Structure 1
Amino acid sequence: MSADKSLGTFAEFFAGIGLVRLALEQCGWVAAFANDIDAKKAEIYRHNWPDDQHLLLGDIHQIDVESLPSVELATGSFPCNDLSIAGKWDGLDGQESSAFWGLVSILDRLDERRPPLVLLENVVGFLQRNGGRDLETALLALNELDYSVDVMLIDAVRFTPQSRPRLFVVASQGQRLDRRTTSCESDVRPKKLAQFIHLNDHLRWDVRELPALPRSALRVADIVEDLPDDDPQWWNRERAEYFMGQLSPRHAEQAASMIAGPQVSYATAFRRVRQGRSMAELRVDGIAGCLRTPRGGSGRQILFAAGLGDYRVRLLTARECARLQGVSDDYVIDVPTNQALFGFGDAVCVPVIQWIATNYLGPLLQERGVAALTGAAGG
């Protein structure tokens, strides 16, 4: 889409492999700048936008704000390692998640060129960490930059067959009264998040009513690649039997039921340590677990295919992980599998961002434009 027909321009911080960009461009936004510190993720990004000059590889703390373009939207999926339950739990002052303050510093130094809209994404642990005080601190920092704030919790499972709840913050500039509904509990603001909003009435809120989220009918079977039986990615019998031996009695019973089924069905599994023993935990509801980065070897998700009296086991492929993130098959994955999995494990779910862009960011930007025109006419 050409710039003259676009909704607006955006700067993508913590760009990773570019899935925020992929989502926003499909909704009519135009990328003007991108930044990430990870060279391996940047390699994947550049494979998909080979002629693009917007991506700056480097530390967010060292970006020269004078060189940044003026944009309508800044996005930031800052590192979650210190905020996730599976991570270090060090909070916003942790070594990696403290990169959030690099973005705040950029917004501060942009001053009058500050983008009117900001979209942040992180794990649900952002709400839970330190009794909610980390999230409160982050929102207060945005308030101090003249942004009103809103928060949402959206699970990718409403769009793809992946359980991936994530917290989203929308910050908007402008002369606006503190706006909250009497009870803001809704589809995108479950009870715990609504309570957080209610308890933090000192913050400057702009909580907006939004439509109900869709309910996806997609299941793991819909994203599985059709690999031939002799593909080396399928585990040999010895390795597959070892996996079966790692199942608890309950999960072994579920696996046996699938094997006896009249057709091939699919389940996913992760390995976890339970009481000092490595166990494989099966998920049979047609939904994959949350994609992770393959740190330590246990982060890779396992596919269990069973039926007609037999079973096969392998790891999810990079393309299957891409599909779980709502990425179409024309997205280029021309890197080693583990490199791709680090990228997708840290990325956003594309249709979630598209839903936010369509139902929130676009209307909000249009509202701002109408308000500006009205103000100019009145002046």
Structure 2
Amino acid sequence: MKFLDLFAGIGGFRLGLEQAGHTCVGFVEIDKFARKSYEAIFDTKGEYTEHDINCINTKELPEADIWCFGFPCQDISVAGKQKGFEGNRSSLFFAVTRKLHELKDEKKPSYLFIENVKNLLSINSGWDFASLQIELDSLGYDIEWDILNSKEVVPQNRERVFIIGHFRGRGTRKVFPIIRKGEPIDSPKQKIIRVFDGRNTGTYGSQDVVSPDGIAGTLNTMGGGNREPKIAIREATKKGFDEAYKGDSVKLKFPNSKVKRGRVGHGKAHTLQAGLNQGIVSNDLRIRKLTPRECWRLQGFPDWAFDRAEKVNSNSQLYKQSGNSVTVPVIYEIAKRMNWKEIE
């Protein structure tokens, strides 16, 4: 199917959708640095594009079966000011729906594929999410949604809500719940396989964190059931500290905080943010910063994509872009269930 990539960022939606066999017909992205990465990664020659979602002329839009977008979450995230849809950024959701209102029913996409922070479900006592449902219903869409955690496919703890809008009468396929091998995707039995063991090679510790395809795990257990050696990380708990082992992530943003908990990510990274907010315990038991490449890997981007983006952007922008992106393998898992053909 054909899709339009809105709030495109560096192309996390696009990469996952293309891996599932869908075709991009255009993209919209206002950030000039994200656009540089996007255009370096993908062949966008001849495609429709616009910078500002508010400037879209619906008469010029290419027809698409899917509109995908992760509209800005700054006003919804628990780390923000909690303005919800009254905020200037997250209210851009309605900039998209205004364009849909301008389209005749036969021109509207069959699917809407939406991503945001899970707080979208509860902010303002749930009234914002109710407003979203009412708005999409007025456009002719029935919706389903679920919360998925990136840790099931990459070593990063990142919960996000995904919403699928189905245009009534089109015979679209239900997507959720996502089941893998007879179990939900968030099953605790789901295993992550180590594909490179940096502990025993004497190489740079980052190679023991994530693989180029974003599937490898970090240090898990050692013989005898104990993980050692380890270091103590100050934490705002009754115990006062947590134990970190080689490969564990450590939050760097509030190193001396007396109220922040959960500073150690055991066997996985914390949620990536727009700025570098965490490090990793290396083989010599020192805490070092994650590299931009590692952050992109934690979002499931292949190294060839990072290599292209690295040529056109600074490290600070690459960190920001990874934190703002969606997790590619999660997008793929959803997108392959939106194909018209039967899922294997």
TM-score (norm 2): 0.78
Partner of 1:291: 272
Asked if 1:213 is matched to 2:181, the reply is no
Offset of residue 351 of structure 1: 0.8
**Residues 223 and 320, structure 1, Cα contact 8 Å, conserved in 2:** no
Gaps of 5+ in 2: 207-230
Deviations 1:268-306 (A, max 9, x none): 111354996697964252111000011xxxx42111224
Offset of residue 20 of structure 1: 0.5
**Residues 48 and 61, structure 2, Cα contact 8 Å, conserved in 1:** no
> Which of 314, 325, 349 is matched with 2:299 structurally?
325
Asked if 1:351 is matched to 2:329, the reply is yes
**Residues 27 and 358, structure 1, Cα contact 8 Å, conserved in 2:** yes
Percent of aligned positions that are identical: 28
Residue type of the partner of 2:125?
G
Runs of 4+ in 1 over 3 A off after TM superposition: 206-210, 218-229, 248-253, 271-282
SS of the residue corresponding to residue 104 of structure 2 reads helix
CA 219–77 in structure 1, closer or farther in 2 if over 3 Å, else same? farther
> Which of 277, 287, 290 is matched with 1:313 structurally?
287
Deviations 1:66-125 (A, max 9, x none): 110011000011000001001121101211101101110111112231111110000011
CA 220–37 in structure 1, closer or farther in 2 if over 3 Å, else same? farther
Partner of 2:243: 254
Asked if 1:342 is matched to 2:320, the reply is yes
Larger of the two Rg values belongs to structure: 1
Partner of 2:142: 148
**Residues 271 and 280, structure 1, Cα contact 8 Å, conserved in 2:** no
CA 28–247 in structure 1, closer or farther in 2 if over 3 Å, else same? same
SS of the residue corresponding to residue 56 of structure 1 reads strand
Provide the rounded CA distance (Å) in 2 between the counterparts of 1:226 and 1:251: 33
CA 228–133 in structure 1, closer or farther in 2 if over 3 Å, else same? closer
Asked if 1:126 is matched to 2:120, the reply is yes
CA 222–87 in structure 1, closer or farther in 2 if over 3 Å, else same? farther
Partner of 2:210: none
Partner of 1:69: 62
Offset of residue 311 of structure 1: 2.1
With CA pairs under 8 Å and 6+ residues apart, which has the higher RCO, 1 or 2? Answer: 2
Provide the rounded CA distance (Å) in 1 between the counterparts of 2:324 and 2:91: 16
Offset of residue 312 of structure 1: 2.2
Of 324-333 and 274-283, more deviation after overlay is shown by 274-283
Deviations 1:148-191 (A, max 9, x none): 111111000111100001001100112389xxxxxxxxxxxxxx
Asked if 1:304 is matched to 2:298, the reply is no
Residue type of the partner of 2:192?
A
> Which of 118, 131, 137 is matched with 2:131 structurally?
137
Offset of residue 216 of structure 1: 4.0
Partner of 2:228: none
SS of the residue corresponding to residue 333 of structure 1 reads helix
**Residues 220 and 267, structure 1, Cα contact 8 Å, conserved in 2:** no
Offset of residue 247 of structure 1: 2.4
> Which of 227, 249, 253 is matched with 1:268 structurally?
249
Provide the rounded CA distance (Å) in 1 between the counterparts of 2:302 and 2:198: 11
Q: How many residues align?
A: 300
**Residues 251 and 282, structure 1, Cα contact 8 Å, conserved in 2:** no
Residue type of the partner of 1:354?
Y
**Residues 266 and 303, structure 1, Cα contact 8 Å, conserved in 2:** yes
Offset of residue 338 of structure 1: 1.1
Provide the rounded CA distance (Å) in 2 between the counterparts of 1:94 and 1:220: 43
**Residues 9 and 324, structure 2, Cα contact 8 Å, conserved in 1:** yes
**Residues 78 and 121, structure 1, Cα contact 8 Å, conserved in 2:** yes
CA 144–246 in structure 1, closer or farther in 2 if over 3 Å, else same? same
Superposition RMSD in Å: 3.1
Partner of 2:216: none
Offset of residue 328 of structure 1: 1.2
Whose helix fraction is larger, Structure 1's or Structure 2's?
1
Residue type of the partner of 2:185?
L
Gaps of 5+ in 1: 1-7, 178-205, 230-243, 259-264, 368-379
TM-score (norm 1): 0.71
Residue type of the partner of 1:140?
I
Deviations 1:337-359 (A, max 9, x none): 11011111011111111111123
Deviations 1:187-210 (A, max 9, x none): xxxxxxxxxxxxxxxxxxx78554
Offset of residue 52 of structure 1: 2.9
Provide the rounded CA distance (Å) in 1 between the counterparts of 2:16 and 2:260: 36
